[in-house]
Amino acid sequence: MESEIAADYSPMLRIYKDGRIERLVGEDKVPPSLDPQNGVVSKDVVYSPENNISLRLFLPAKAADSAGKKLPLLVYFHGGGFIIETAFSPTYHTFLMAPVSAADCLAVSVDYRRAPEHPIPTAYEDSWSALKWVFSHFDGSGPEDWLNKHADFGNVILAGDSAGGNIAHHMTMRAGEEKLTHDGRSGISGIILVHPYFWGKSPIDEQETKDETVRSHVAGIWTVASPNSKDGADDPWINVVGSGRDLSRLGSGRALVMVAGKDALVRQGWAYAGKLEKSELLINST
């Protein structure tokens, strides 16, 4: 019984009939470092002591030695279907160094507790806690010196890929509703969503895949991440495009939506960008 597979979502994970979860990728971790090739230094900071959750900060090495030069702030949420990968995996450690080096910005890579051990909405709750922790440095008196000295809170971008893109959307919506700054603003200058994990029980348009194998696979990952959801793939957390929620309440005036032509999620990304355009937000989709 222990070796019998209940659900196979390769190449991501397998679930066994005894309840065991086998993550097939995304379990490796690398320590923070000084990368001389990219000129980027990183370190880990605990943002939620009660849950022992950390995030990773990335800073251009030249800025670390400067006297308070303000840099654009990128807050990134990693992907992995809410189930695999972490902010400390080689994939995301390497990935975040690139924009920090190229754009001369400060980056925060948020880690959050993963499903199914910590089912939805835990990932959203942790991400919101991380975002509030970041904005606790808004007036330069937070617990982390890099953010106090170098973060330009007039230029904050939220970004993420796949599940992280989904999280970035929901965090920006919440920022628009609850505000993050002392002067009543959301504090978010823009968002970047890379093939965001949005889905629904029915195809969003005529071009979205109707292949039941593909649709069951995508929806099944959500079921693993959110086993208590009564609406399945029509849960508003995942069915962002078809939920009817007013995107004009998004706490950002700019959005960049990136999709991949062979990704099953491609039409959801296009439809999301279309809804934002109707909300008269400044959109760039590619």
DSSP characters for the chain? Answer: -TT-EEEEETTTEEEETTS-EEE-SS-------EETTTTEEEEEEEEETTTTEEEEEEEEHHHHTSSS--EEEEEEE--STTTS--TTSHHHHHHHHHHHHHHT-EEEEE--PPTTTS-TTHHHHHHHHHHHHHHTTTTS-SS-HHHHHHEEEEEEEEEEETHHHHHHHHHHHHHHHH--STTS-----EEEEES-----SS-SSTTS---HHHHHHHHHHHHHH-TT-SSGGGSTTT-TTTS---GGG-S-SEEEEE--TTSTTHHHHHHHHHHHHHTT-EEEE-
Q: How many structural domains comprise the chain? A: 1
- The CATH number covering residue 270 comes to 3.40.50.1820
Residues 71-96: what's their mean pLDDT? 97
Tens-digit pLDDT profile for residues 138-186? 999 999 999 999 999 999 999 999 999 999 999 999 999 998 887 778 8
Asked whether residue 41 is domain-assigned, the answer is yes
Asked whether residue 18 is domain-assigned, the answer is no
Asked whether residue 9 is domain-assigned, the answer is no
Q: Which residue has the tokens 């807050």?
A: 75
The boundaries of the domain holding residue 211 are 25-285
Asked whether residue 7 is domain-assigned, the answer is no
Asked whether residue 13 is domain-assigned, the answer is no
Asked whether residue 273 is domain-assigned, the answer is yes
Confirm if 101 and 60 have CB atoms less than 8 A apart: yes
pLDDT at 276 over 70: yes
Q: 252 vs 93, which has greater pLDDT?
A: 93
Asked whether residue 17 is domain-assigned, the answer is no
Q: 63 vs 83, which has greater pLDDT?
A: 83
Tens-digit pLDDT profile for residues 225-275? 999 999 999 999 999 998 877 788 888 889 999 999 899 999 999 999 998
Share of the chain above pLDDT 70, in %: 97
The model's pTM: 0.94
Tens-digit pLDDT profile for residues 94-129? 999 999 999 999 999 999 999 999 999 999 999 999
Q: Write down the pLDDT at residue 249.
A: 82
Asked whether residue 43 is domain-assigned, the answer is yes
